[in-house]
Structures are given as C-alpha cells and as structure tokens.
A = this chain, B = another copy of it.
Amino acid sequence: MRYAVLGTGIVGRTVAARLAALGHEVAVGTRDPEATLARTEPDHFGNVPFSEWLADHGQIRLESFADAAAWGEAVVNATQGAASLQTLEAAGAANLADKVLIDISNPLDFSQGVPPSLNPVNTDSLGEQLQRAFPEAKVVKTLNTMNCAIMMDPSLVAGEHNVFVSGDDDGAKKAVTELLVSIGWPQHAVLDLGGIETARGTEMLLPVWLRLYGAFGHSDFNFHIQVAGSSR
C-alpha cells in the first residue's frame, strides 16, 4: 500500500517509519520539501533535523503535500490540529477524493494558555470539519488519544488498552482496523464508536489526557475501557 503521511514532526516521523517497517511505500508530505531539507537545527521539541531522520529512512520519500497526497492510496493527517484544514487544502481535494483519510490529529488551541483547550469542541470536532471540507474523502478518526510511540507500538503499554475509530464509511473503518491490527493492536482493542460525529468524544479525551500527563509527569499511558463482566 502507498501511504502519504502529512507532517514532518515527531508524530509524522513515527507513523511513517512504522508503516515503512511494515513493508508499505511511504511518502512524507510537507509544505516546501526544499525548506524542510534545508533545516539544520533540531526542532523546538529537540528532534533531529528532518534531513538527518530521512537519511536513516532511505526508503521513505519527501514530497510536497499535493505530490504526496496524489501519489498515496491512503493519506494520514499527522499535522497539528490548528494547521490541518490548511494542510489538506494544500494537499488538494482531488488528491484526497475516494481515499481513506486517517486523521490522527487533535485541535489543540494554545491561545487560551496551557494546558491547551480545544477548537473546535463540544458541538463540532476536527474530524467532522475535515469530512465536511473534503466530502469525497473517507475520513477515519483514530489514534489521537495517546502519544505517537504507543500509537505505533501498543506493546509499550502492558495490559489491555484501547484505540477508537470514528467514521461514516464502514469500508474505510474496516481498512483502518486491519491496518491497526497489522501495527499490533489486538482486534478486540479497536473500539468502533460510530460515525465521524463521535470524533467529538475522542478529541475531548485530550483535556484529561493532558492533566494525567501533568499528574504522572510522563505520557506513557493510554485509556482502557473496562467493561463489566468482561475479562478485558
């Protein structure tokens, strides 16, 4: 499968590397590939320059958002929530049409201070915004409720824990669930909440996630839905 992963931050890199390791062809999308490759300083989270990371992942391509999306058979939105709509507009509606668009981002809003709040929230969600903006894409919201290391290696958290999927297209959710299983998520750990509207629920997990991060001092945890009468 050819995956376009939009975003060159730690989330995009982690997803791209894992998909490539699983044998998929991967293009990372960025606004301006030359500018991305020209950076020689670590980013403000301390990650090595992208060019250095790319040199260690020779099978992965770097493309513009539009070229990556046009080439990919499925697209992963791994950009910051506040930039996601703009990024996908740059990718181009025609390049997203009829494709599964896996949205793993969260609409964090730092304008009200830290920890960030959400925008949109409550009566809308980023997942819904993307589906409305790109009605021909098959948006599946997933993986947005944990850190990116756990997303791509659920064995980092011992014991049962869950990943949610939300989307209006059942075929797309099935394909994403198969991808999640191939990444290492047990089938029973994948909880299908329903349509893309349910992305409101998973995006609104972020506020407690951020406060657990504060209380624990680390983000090596995940949500588990413990069901009565189940051993899981």
Name A residues whose Cβ lies closer than 8 Å to a Cβ of B: 112, 117-119, 121-123, 150, 156-161, 164, 191-194, 198, 200-202, 204-205, 207-212, 214-216, 220-232
- Flag if B212 contacts A191 (CB, 8 Å): yes
A201-B207, A204-B208 known; A215-B230 Cβ under 8 A: no
Q: Out of B200, B205, B229, which one reaches A158, CB within 8 Å?
A: B229
Q: Which residue of B lies closest to A145 (CB)?
A: B208
Minimum CB–CB distance for A160 against chain B, Å: 7
- Flag if A226 contacts B229 (CB, 8 Å): no
- Flag if A226 contacts B222 (CB, 8 Å): yes
6 nearest A-B pairs in the assembled complex, by CB-CB distance: A201-B208, A220-B228, A224-B224, A161-B226, A201-B207, A201-B211
19 more A-B residue pairs beyond the given contacts A191-B212, A198-B208, A224-B224, with a C-beta to C-beta distance below 8 A: A112-B123, A118-B122, A158-B226, A158-B228, A159-B226, A159-B231, A160-B224, A194-B211, A198-B211, A201-B209, A205-B205, A212-B225, A221-B226, A221-B227, A222-B225, A222-B226, A223-B225, A224-B225, A224-B226
Chain B contacts for A194, CB-based, 8 A: 211, 214-215
- Flag if A200 contacts B191 (CB, 8 Å): no
Q: Out of B122, B202, B220, which one reaches A117, CB within 8 Å?
A: B122
Give A148 to B69 CA distance when docked, in angstroms.
48
